[in-house]
Each structure stands twice: as structure tokens, then as C-alpha cells.
């Protein structure tokens, strides 16, 4: 055999190591890789030993294969439900925090605990020193801020005494000057300069800017508001009935002007002038008609009030007319005062108005084609 030939070769014996080299216990350990040799350095083995070892290896392999087959056969007979329950039990044990064990035993030793305690103490001391340093820096900043505030207050007092504004001066100019002068200053001084002792105190000018040659102390561009004594609150509430009676002559003026416009429309020959006059006449007639309707409704309202006062004197409860009822009564009075021709014109005008509303409500017809 090839293996027997290789192992039967003559080998040279290993030289003994000197005493200078360090002693090692590894040589004393028996290892299957080290072979026993004879006096001539030949290996003490034979073909029979090798054959016996190979036969033993074959037997071990056959036993292992038989054992695996038996294990697989037994495993195939186990029901699936039992496997699922076993897997669930294993997962529950693994996920239970009380059953977890430390992998490293060094953590449970006294040496590890002492090191951990010392590390925590060092972190605590470091945090305490850091807090102390932060408090010291804050106190220094606070002291510097108080000193800057005191200096800014002293500067404000000097400016207020040297360049005060009159009480009637424009507040906008003072605010603009303050905003321009505070651009290069520190934030603390800017806050202190903007603050005043009172909101009624005058604005102060900055000493860093030159005083203008012309200053507007009293504003001159203010316009006087128109004042009508008739609508002044000191005159009390307006009585429209007395007002209309006092200025009733204006109605006569408006009617005479309307008659003159109608005469001018008849005599003029220019089409442009006729168009302008006709528009003016129509507008005046509409205003006159609206004024008459308003006066008629006011008369109906006053008459209803007088009637209710009489009924209250008799012991009845007061009744207040609605605006809709007042307009209806005023319309009845208007139709009763009309003549035959005027009534026909009013009916025709009302019919056209209603017809136009109905046409606007109708849907648009589709175009043919």
C-alpha cells in the first residue's frame, strides 16, 4: 500500500534543543500528530496497525450513519403540534428577562464592581466641576451686563439733560433718530435707550447727530376738518320733522329749477345738450319721487304713533308697526292720491318692471344651428 510505504521510510531524528532556550510544557503534552520513533529514527508502525485503525474508522462512520438514520426516523414520528409547543416554550424562556444570564463572569467579580464604582465616582466629580464652571461664567456675564447697563443709563441721563424735545414735537422724528443712533451700540444699551420713564415723556435726540437747522415744531400741513353745527353732538339729536319744516324752501327751489330745465330742453336744438338735459331732468325727478315717498312713510309712522298713544291712555297695550306694514300703508295713500292718468302710467311702469324680472329669471334659449 502507498500509505505503508510512506510511513516505512527512514527518518532523521530531531536534534535536542540547547539548555539556553526557555523550557516549554508543550512537548510533554501527548499529541496524535507526534509519532513514536526507534533508535535509528525509524517509525515504529506496521501495516497491521494501520489496517486496524482504518477498520475502526470505518466502523465509527457506519455507527454514526446508523445513528443519524435512527434519529431522523424518530424525529419524523414526532407530531408537529408538539414541536410548535416546544419552540414556543424555548422562545418564552429566552425572552424572559429574569432568566437571562451574563455571558461574562468578570462582571460578577468584585474587581469589576470596584472598577465600575470608581468610574461612576469620576463621572460624578466631572459633572460637578462642569456645573461650577458654568455658574462662575454666568456670574461674570451678569456682572459685566450690570456694568454696561449702568453706563448706558448715565449716557441716557446726559443726553436727556442736553438735548430734550418740546412736548409738542413730532414723536416720529425722535423714534427715527433713536433707531439710527442705536445701530452700532450693544444690545443692552439699545434696550435701555428705547425705554422711557413714562410713555408721556418726550423723545430724546441722539448726541451723535447734528441738530437740523430747520425744525418743524408745530405741524403746518394739517387741514381743518369741516364742522357743521347742525350735526354737532352738543346740539342734541336731530329732529327730522323740524328740520324738514325749517328747510322747506329748498323744495320750492328744486321744483323751480326742474321747470327751468324742462323749458331749456324744449328750446335747445343741439343733440348733445338735449341728451345732457334729459339725463339731468330724469335724475332730479327720481330724487324728488324718492323724497316724496320718504315723507309719506314718515307721515304714516307719525300717525300710527299718535293712534297708539291714544290707545295706551285708554289702557291698551302698545303695538308697534313693522316697516313692511308702514310701506304698505304709504303705498295705499299714494294710489288714493293719484288721478286716472297717473294711475295708468304707474300700473304700466309696474307691469314692465315685473315683466323684466321674470325674463331675467327664465333660462337662456339655445342658439339654433
Q: By mean pLDDT, which of 85-99, 277-291, 322-336 is the weakest?
A: 85-99
CA 43-46-48 angle, to 5 degrees, is 155
- 3-class SS at 204? strand
Phi and psi (nearest 5°) for 221? -95, 10
In this prediction, residue 29 has a pLDDT band, given cuts at 50, 70 and 90, of very low
2-13, pLDDT tens digit by residue?
445 545 555 455
- What the block records as the C-alpha cell of 116 is 465600575
In this prediction, residue 325 has a pLDDT band, given cuts at 50, 70 and 90, of very high
Against a cut of 0.95, is the pTM above it? no
Amino acid at each position: 500500500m502507498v500509505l505503508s510505504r510512506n510511513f516505512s521510510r527512514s527518518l532523521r531524528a530531531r536534534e535536542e534543543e540547547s539548555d539556553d532556550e526557555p523550557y516549554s510544557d508543550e512537548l510533554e503534552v501527548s499529541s496524535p500528530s507526534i509519532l513514536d520513533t526507534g533508535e535509528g529514527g525509524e517509525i515504529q508502525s506496521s501495516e497491521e496497525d494501520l489496517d486496524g485503525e482504518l477498520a475502526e474508522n470505518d466502523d465509527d462512520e457506519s455507527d454514526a450513519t446508523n445513528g443519524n438514520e435512527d434519529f431522523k426516523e424518530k424525529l419524523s414520528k414526532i407530531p408537529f403540534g408538539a414541536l410548535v409547543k416546544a419552540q414556543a416554550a424555548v422562545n418564552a424562556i429566552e425572552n424572559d428577562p429574569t432568566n437571562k444570564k451574563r455571558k461574562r463572569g468578570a462582571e460578577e467579580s468584585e474587581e469589576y464592581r470596584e472598577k465600575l464604582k470608581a468610574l461612576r465616582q469620576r463621572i460624578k466629580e466631572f459633572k460637578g466641576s462642569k456645573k461650577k464652571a458654568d455658574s462662575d461664567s454666568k456670574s461674570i456675564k451678569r456682572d459685566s451686563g450690570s456694568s454696561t447697563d449702568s453706563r448706558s443709563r448715565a449716557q441716557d441721563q446726559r443726553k436727556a439733560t442736553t438735548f430734550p424735545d418740546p412736548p409738542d414735537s413730532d414723536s416720529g422724528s425722535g423714534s427715527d433718530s433713536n433707531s439710527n443712533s442705536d445701530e452700532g451700540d450693544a444690545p443692552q444699551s439699545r434696550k435701555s435707550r428705547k425705554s422711557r420713564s413714562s410713555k408721556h415723556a418726550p423723545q430724546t435726540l441722539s448726541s451723535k447727530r447734528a441738530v437740523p437747522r430747520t425744525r418743524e415744531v408745530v405741524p403746518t400741513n394739517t387741514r381743518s376738518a369741516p364742522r357743521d353745527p347742525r350735526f354737532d353732538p352738543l346740539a342734541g339729536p336731530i329732529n327730522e320733522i323740524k328740520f324738514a319744516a325749517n328747510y322747506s324752501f329748498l323744495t320750492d327751489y328744486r321744483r323751480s329749477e326742474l321747470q327751468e330745465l324742462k323749458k331749456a330742453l324744449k328750446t335747445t336744438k343741439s343733440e348733445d345738450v338735449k341728451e345732457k338735459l334729459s339725463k339731468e331732468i330724469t335724475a332730479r325727478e327720481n330724487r324728488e319721487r324718492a323724497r316724496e315717498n320718504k315723507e309719506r312713510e314718515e307721515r304714516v309712522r307719525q300717525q300710527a304713533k299718535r293712534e297708539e298713544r291714544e290707545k295706551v291712555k285708554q289702557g291698551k297695550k302698545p303695538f308697534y308697526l313693522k316697516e313692511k306694514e308702514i310701506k304698505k300703508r304709504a303705498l295705499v295713500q299714494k294710489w288714493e292720491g293719484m288721478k286716472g292718468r297717473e294711475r295708468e302710467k304707474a300700473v304700466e311702469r309696474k307691469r314692465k318692471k315685473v315683466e323684466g324680472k321674470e325674463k331675467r329669471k327664465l333660462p337662456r334659449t339655445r342658439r339654433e344651428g
